[in-house]
Amino acid sequence: MKTKFKDLTIIELNEFKDNRGKFKRIFCSSLFKKNRLNNFVQVNHSVNKSKGTLRGFHYQKGKFAEDKLVYCIKGSIWDCVIDLRKKSKTYLKVFGIKLDGGSNTMLYVPKGFAHSFLTLKDNSEVIYFSSNFYDPASEGGVRYNDSKFKIKWPIKPKLISDKDKTFPDFKS
């Protein structure tokens, strides 16, 4: 499902149920290629013990810029992105979506977005596919409470890394 942000896509998965349980495919390279979604080279699993855990906003710059495919496998998160593509009609605009564990909804985040999520339940788990390898020297970030963006988090963030708390004010 398209959003008003170019290439930012909500993906609804097909789920099959029977007396054994349920099955869904969260990744299919031929389907992604057909829809011009990038190839992924890395899969990350984030385990978060407490409600109110915030991770991000993170992004990779230059040749290490990456697309992400985000899926909550347990618990619940508020997934939030900021469009940092200077030539985009939605430059510096914010998009957020609730993703629940076991639901059929994923978010495809293209290069040029800063990405973050906030856990809405204890023991929330997220997997995300990345189209590039992590390079510490190419990492950028936006502070979660930067006044430029006026982000309305659904609950107050409680657990935040020192790195995420101390990103400088955003400058375009």
Active site residues: 58, 128
Beta-strand relationship, 53-60 and 113-119 = antiparallel
Q: Tell me which residue of 115, 119, 128, 82 sits closest to 98, measured CA to CA.
A: 119
Beta strands in the chain (DSSP E): 9-12, 15-18, 21-24, 42-48, 53-60, 68-74, 76-83, 94-100, 105-109, 113-119, 124-130, 139-141, 159-160
Torsion of CA 110, 111, 114, 115, to 10 degrees: 40
Q: Helix-strand-coil percent breakdown of the chain, rounded to 5? A: 10, 45, 50
